[in-house]
Structure 1
């Protein structure tokens, strides 16, 4: 094992190779919530908050559905990056094929269960009747993109695992460009409102898939896949590492999205104005998470490569460099939110009651980047090292022991109590993951 002292290295050495990997991920990540922000802004300027509320509820359900399978991205990156560290490109290529097969099987299941999932979601959310009808229609349309969305997860995960972040950027830019154009045509031009937003997203996902497969063909080891595709599809034992990693990540992601969905549901039960205001505020939360995830994705790919090469010095360098940059970014985001609160909110809506509700809770949005930066960053480090069981257990603990009790006891505070529980949950994640990482570093060689 290589053991080079890292504490004596200059700052430029510690950050070497990190920023070129980070910026395309950060830009591609930011495109996702920025597009959601555009959707929210367009719908927020229609004549009724019902459309914004419907998309907030429908998008929350679809996020729970799709992001629960976000392990297809994370698990693929984790395993591929370690294969790259071992210089085993044959295994890396076959990992994508296995991930793609798994993605298509899961997508088929989602399409088959679509009616029951939507009905259960509406029952759980309990929005006002007019909003519920629009939200159900939006959700039914969005589910049609399941095959494309899940396959895109595997493509992005494979590229990042290969230390290639520019191809995912092109893929995401394609999806967002198509979505934005169709938003203007379908929502503004054809007056399709929330249904228009749904169809725009579906078409954009399939457009991105086409670009992604084209980019993959130019980079993957096609000769290896042609020679071994039958083995990849029939030797189910070879799926075990992928399934084991994905099982832990599925539970972890389901808990996280369960918190987001519960958060939206509670706002919907309070009033249409509150759920609309929270939908706007969550756009800032998503902007934060996607920006900070750029460093987490870089840490995952680089740490995974260091683990595959059994290089502890490189692992420590990546942890220090990505964490320092993530902290600086989190502070900058909080200052940006604080300085421009009234300007940012005015971009999303002109409805006075919605603006008032959003302004009352904006302080939580300012604090969240500094509360959550550790959780995002350590997610990437844990993934790179393959510590997915720890990620699962920490998320379960924080959901059951922090979020639910804190929400229960702060219900008299209304929406403020809901935001307090959400922020407490994220702070607990950061602290718990930090403690576990510190303990593991003392006990493990890598």
Structure 2
């Protein structure tokens, strides 16, 4: 207990945590803003199919983008450890590796997506007119995929290098340009759905150009050089690729659970699936704040591991963990006291409101249960321990599937029970794996 209190009272660590977390929280808040602007602009077009086309197109485009999110997480840990070790050459080399990997995957995946788009859109069972406009949107939107992946790699590098404000600036440039071009292309030029797609592409490329410029500026201030000879060898790429592979598999498992939640909820009726969607928006709201603290854990714990400083590692984890717990309790109290207001702001349909009210206790419990998986994800990402993250997610997914089947007689309450248990198992499995590593003195070699 003395060591815990000593770590919590370390004011410089509090300052470091919030210097990283605050910009990341603001960065996260920009994400729903752009989606809201896209929907609003599309919603004011003359045809109802226009809004549907943007919705369907955005959902299809999100498949490769979210699946390749490992480009951000996989980069952060290596950069944080190189910074902690004072390895300037390592910082520059990881930057070059991440950007080359992002550009290559952007071109490769974009090329593979083109012939798949008609089939993917057809799975939405939309009308021919809506499907056609969704395809028009997607064919243009894919031009931004390489830039979107470059932005992932750049954000990962900036976070690992403890440049959270630069990450915020990167997202602000991307999103402000997107919003401005939306207003110019659609209401101004009357380009409709293609204008919305081009606005997103323009925002992504402007963000990428800004990010590359800032990354080049920072790299020039470093003393080291890029080890191009080593980068031609497979062994130099292997650690980064293995970490990215395991994070990719972990992400697929997580997406599978969310997809199952929607699928199983749909079987319980239209009202139930709509109510669940409103409550899951509460989970996303929680993630905006708590993920910012998890990002701080990634950078600070990775730095401590690179510097071989176990005391700094413990302080970063305890301070960020304490603030994460405080934040999760605040969210839980908010949903307990104002849950009905939160639901009412999202819909005026009486049946959906009444259904959502019945499941609000699950939403109120979720932040306090889920916070530990966010926090420990940050620790394992900073330590580049992606294999353990993958294994913990696999155990959690299997547990969710078993409990969802076992509790199927409880209806939607059973589904929420399974999901809450899944989030709890994520945290417990990572905690158990973390304790094993601690007992083996493996966190810091």
TM-score bracket, normalised by the shorter chain, equals 0.7 to 0.9
Match of 1:337 among 328, 335, 338: 335
SS of the equivalent of 1:147 reads helix
Offset of 1:385 from its aligned partner? 2.0
Alpha-carbon distance in 2 for matches of 1:362, 1:120: 37
| Greater Cα shift, 34-43 or 386-395 | 34-43
1:271-310 equivalence runs, <5 A? 278-310=276-308
1:430-441 equivalence runs, <5 A? 430-441=427-438
Change in Cα spacing, 1:199 to 1:406, as seen in structure 2 (3 Å) is: farther
Aligned to 2:107: 108
Aligned to 2:420: 423
Cα deviation, 1:19-56, whole Å, max 9, x if unaligned, reads 11211112112222344355567778999997777666
Aligned to 2:402: 405
Aligned to 1:89: 88
Alpha-carbon distance in 1 for matches of 2:250, 2:258: 13
| Greater Cα shift, 330-339 or 402-411 | 402-411
1:50-69 equivalence runs, <5 A? 58-69=57-68
Alpha-carbon distance in 2 for matches of 1:7, 1:361: 37
Gaps of 5+ in 2: none
By relative contact order (CA 8 Å, sep 6+), the higher-ranking structure is: 1
- Counterpart contact for 1:62–1:139, Cα < 8 Å: yes
Offset of 1:254 from its aligned partner? 1.8
- Counterpart contact for 1:295–1:377, Cα < 8 Å: yes
- Counterpart contact for 1:53–1:275, Cα < 8 Å: no
Gaps of 5+ in 1: none
Change in Cα spacing, 1:303 to 1:415, as seen in structure 2 (3 Å) is: same
Does 2:48 align with 1:32? no
1:183-262 equivalence runs, <5 A? 183=182, 198-221=197-220, 228=226, 230-231=228-229, 234-262=232-260
Offset of 1:329 from its aligned partner? 1.0
Cα deviation, 1:158-178, whole Å, max 9, x if unaligned, reads 111111110001111222223
Aligned to 2:76: 77
- Counterpart contact for 1:56–1:275, Cα < 8 Å: no
1:35-46 equivalence runs, <5 A? 35-36=34-35, 39=38
Q: CA RMSD in A?
A: 3.6
- Counterpart contact for 2:7–2:319, Cα < 8 Å: no
Cα deviation, 1:368-420, whole Å, max 9, x if unaligned, reads 21221000000011122222111001111211x12323344555666555444
Equivalenced residue count is 440
Change in Cα spacing, 1:334 to 1:281, as seen in structure 2 (3 Å) is: same
Alpha-carbon distance in 1 for matches of 2:369, 2:433: 17
Does 2:22 align with 1:8? no
- Counterpart contact for 1:277–1:357, Cα < 8 Å: yes
Change in Cα spacing, 1:359 to 1:10, as seen in structure 2 (3 Å) is: closer
- Counterpart contact for 1:375–1:429, Cα < 8 Å: yes
Alpha-carbon distance in 2 for matches of 1:215, 1:338: 43
Normalising by structure 1, report the TM-score: 0.84
Cα deviation, 1:149-202, whole Å, max 9, x if unaligned, reads 110011111111111110001111222223344555667778888766544433
Offset of 1:285 from its aligned partner? 2.1
Alpha-carbon distance in 1 for matches of 2:54, 2:395: 30
Offset of 1:5 from its aligned partner? 5.2
Change in Cα spacing, 1:345 to 1:6, as seen in structure 2 (3 Å) is: closer
Change in Cα spacing, 1:397 to 1:10, as seen in structure 2 (3 Å) is: closer
1:381-396 equivalence runs, <5 A? 381-396=379-394
Offset of 1:107 from its aligned partner? 0.9
Aligned to 2:373: 375
SS of the equivalent of 1:218 reads helix
